[in-house]
Amino acid sequence: MSCEKEYDIGEGYNHQKIVVDCVFNSDSMPLVRLSKAASPYFSSPYSNIDSAKIVILGTSDIIDSFEYIGNGLYRSGHIFKPKNHYNLLVNVNDTVVTSRSYLPESITINSVVHEVVVDDNKKLLKSKFSISTAGEKYLILTHVVRKKAFTNNNDTIQFEDDVWVEGEDNFFEQVLPEESPKKILLKKVDSDTLTFTIYSSDGYVKDDNLIEGKSFFNFYSCSEEYYSFVKSKMLYEFNNIGDKTSIISASGVYSNISNGFGIFAGYNKIEVVNEFK
């Protein structure tokens, strides 16, 4: 014997939302990727949007429009300038989605000192930085290592690794559980000048098989929107790791698109390179 009951899930349950993907800086022409999200109820496919009208506005006037270049991508020839707010307006067959974000100024590296230290019989790269924030309020730090090495067959391979990093206690925002590996550090900035130390699990010394190694420290000065997006993406990805040892609250990915989904956010990046010795 079975029992069935019907529920009205309302109008628009099969409506495909417009998805916007646009992060921008002052070093390149901005790109917008537009698509339609697949419906969770039916088998509506993911699809690119190739017939949209997209403009960037300042306070009120149109700054530039975007040209379609294929595969759901639209490009503007306008280079965004730091310390300015920008408004995005997308029109797809009279469906309008909007967003707003800010382009921060790049930080300045005042000094950096690298030192190899030993902790619990493990070598770590200790890096002490002094930076000026240009008055920006949000900072993200990543560390990537690129290596060139010999294989067992004496071939040469090149590869890139994200590096697990650890900051000073209570200096960076604790986003993931304390015992989890960190590939990104986040900081809400409360000063024009910051001095801090980080410890990296890789990126310090050459060995017999390693021909070349370089550490890349990437500092992102962020709009609040970009910071929130990266933070939520970290939580989302951590929640989907099958063998994690900690449980944290379920989370979705941050969106600042009105009447749609996605991200429109500004950032600037500066890179510090440390070559293996």
Q: State the CATH number of the domain containing residue 67.
A: 2.60.40
What is the DSSP track for 180-193?
A: S--SEEEEE--SSE
Which residues are CB-neighbours of 182 under 8 A, at least 6 positions away? 164, 165, 166, 176
* Across 125-129, 142-146, 242-246, least confident range: 242-246
**Tens of pLDDT, residues 62-74:** 999 999 999 999 9
pLDDT score of 127 more than 70: yes
Specify the pLDDT at position 183. 85
- Residues 127 and 99 grouped into a single domain: no
Answer yes or no: do 34 and 158 share one domain: no
**Distance of CA 218 to CAs 170, 235, 261, Å?**
21, 20, 27
* Domain limits for position 99: 18-103
pLDDT bin (cut points 50, 70, 90) of residue 10 is: low
CA distance 173 to 162: 19
pLDDT of residue 246: 52
**pTM for the whole thing?**
0.86
Q: State whether 162 and 213 are in the same domain.
A: yes
Say if residue 162's pLDDT is above 80: no
- pLDDT, position 130: 96
Please state, in angstroms and rounded to a whole number, the distance separating the CA atoms of residues 26 and 126: 31
Residue 39 has pLDDT above 70, yes or no: no
Residue 260 pLDDT grade (very low, low, confident, very high; cuts 50, 70, 90): very high
